[in-house]
């Protein structure tokens, strides 16, 4: 029997994201106004170039702002879970792949192992959750290519049920 579960989770936008967005828009506005008024007044021959540079600045600001739109896709196929990071629905990056049969630990944030592994400097942390301070955060600890990794993610009930089924020895808590 083949198991396939797929889920998308959008990363929540924080106050820092909105402050960064406001700062980028303000900086772009100031730069474009400076180019349009001061540079064009001092050297009128640069007017066509000023327009191109201003358009590039606005487009660059748009790209930087939309880069904050991050989603995570969890794809569970049989005994492997793949986690991808999708930025602005334009770019996809594989974060990790974990074999569910070889997990070292699995559980919720309330599990005492969560803090122990979080403080472990030898484990590489991968945050693929909507909000790392939320209560519905789960973690997986596994080895990938001789490197210990800790995946912190926000799966739904279907994914947690399948992971728990592959790992009955690991308490979820």
User: Which tens digit of pLDDT belongs to each residue from 114-145?
Assistant: 888 889 898 899 999 988 888 889 999 998 88
Residues 32 and 76 in one domain: no
Residues 85 and 49 in one domain: no
Residues 133 and 58 in one domain: no
Distances (CA, A) of 9 to 24, 37, 61: 26, 44, 25
Residues 30 and 105 in one domain: no
Residues 94 and 147 in one domain: yes
Q: Which residue, 66, 83, 99, sits at the end of a domain?
A: 66
CB-based burial label for 1 (10 Å; 0-12, 13-18, 19+): exposed
Assigned domain for 141 exists: yes
Count of domains observed in the chain: 2
For residues 25-53, give the mean pLDDT. Answer: 89
Residues 82 and 39 in one domain: no
Residues 78 and 158 in one domain: yes
Assigned domain for 172 exists: no
Residue 64 scores a pLDDT above 80: yes
Residues 97 and 154 in one domain: yes
Q: Which residue, 66, 86, 109, sits at the end of a domain?
A: 66
Range of the domain at 113: 4-10+72-166
Residue 171 scores a pLDDT above 60: no
Residues 62 and 122 in one domain: no
Q: Which residue, 28, 47, 66, sits at the end of a domain?
A: 66
Assigned domain for 103 exists: yes
With b for 16 or more beta-carbon neighbours within 10 A and e for fewer, the 118-143 pattern comes to eeeeebeebebbbebeeeebbbbbbe
CATH, residue 142:
2.30.29
- Cβ atoms within 10 Å, residue 156: 13
Please give the mean pLDDT across all residues of the chain. Answer: 88
User: Which tens digit of pLDDT belongs to each residue from 76-95?
Assistant: 998 899 999 999 888 999 99
High-pLDDT (> 90) share of the chain, %? 40
Residues 31 and 52 in one domain: yes
Grade residue 3 by pLDDT with cuts at 50, 70 and 90: confident
For residues 139-153, give the mean pLDDT. Answer: 89
Q: What is the pTM of this model?
A: 0.79
Residues 44 and 88 in one domain: no
Assigned domain for 171 exists: no
């Amino acid at each position: 029997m083949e198991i396939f579960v797929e889920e998308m989770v959008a990363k929540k936008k924080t106050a820092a994201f909105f402050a960064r967005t406001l700062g980028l828009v303000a900086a772009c506005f100031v730069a474009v106004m400076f180019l349009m008024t001061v540079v064009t007044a001092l050297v009128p021959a640069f007017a066509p170039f000023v327009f191109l540079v201003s358009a590039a600045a606005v487009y660059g600001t748009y790209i930087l702002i939309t880069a904050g739109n991050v989603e995570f896709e969890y794809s569970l196929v049989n005994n492997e879970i793949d986690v991808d990071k999708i930025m602005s629905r334009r770019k996809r990056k594989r974060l990790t792949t974990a074999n569910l049969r070889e997990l070292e630990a699995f559980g919720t944030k309330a599990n005492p192992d969560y803090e122990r592994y979080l403080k472990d400097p030898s484990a590489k942390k991968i945050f693929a959750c909507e909000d790392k301070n939320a209560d519905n955060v789960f973690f997986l600890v596994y080895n990938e290519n001789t490197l210990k990794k800790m995946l912190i993610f926000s799966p739904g009930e279907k994914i947690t049920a399948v992971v728990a089924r592959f790992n009955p020895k690991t308490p979820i808590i």
